Structure 1
Amino acid sequence: MKVWAQADPRIESDFILFDEAQDSDGVMLWVLNRQSHAQTIYVGDPYQQIYKWRGAVNAMAQIEAPEHALTESFRFGPVIATPASCSH
């Protein structure tokens, strides 16, 4: 991935959805930060970061972007979503 990143790649897309951003790779974050032509949407939960031990970085703590809580899912309703979306 580092060799690919050194080529200063351009991801040919208008939108980039980056899931599991709480377990990101620093190189991938660097590449995404250079995609100024595209809207990048970071999806993640810093409370679910499980790969810090292998060098993963929490992209959610390193980007400047509006934050929106997940308020509804097919897996759970508002009874679970409301307390889960509160700041800790």
Structure 2
Amino acid sequence: MKSIEYPSKDTFVMTLDCRGGFHYFTDITLTFTGVEELFVPDHFEGAWWLYNEVYSTKTGFELHVLFERPFSEMKISAENVFIAERKK
């Protein structure tokens, strides 16, 4: 996890460092729109994304992510998510 942003009350943006990953090998930005519920643990920048679960809801989806350092969980309920390679 590199950074998080809250550009508006119903938008949440996460930037992930995927350079050591299996696909993108660069930074990826996840932009969640139509955010209905958001729980983000304190001080988890730099943590590793270990595991996730995604559930369908009436208005979109609910994402649960387990991070290490220390183990903490993030929860997002949103309508959409957009994934983009972060241009440097």
Is the pair's TM-score, using the shorter chain for normalization, greater than 0.5? no
**Larger Cα-atom Rg:** 1
More strand by share: 2
More helix by share: 1
Normalising to structure 1: TM-score of the pair? 0.25
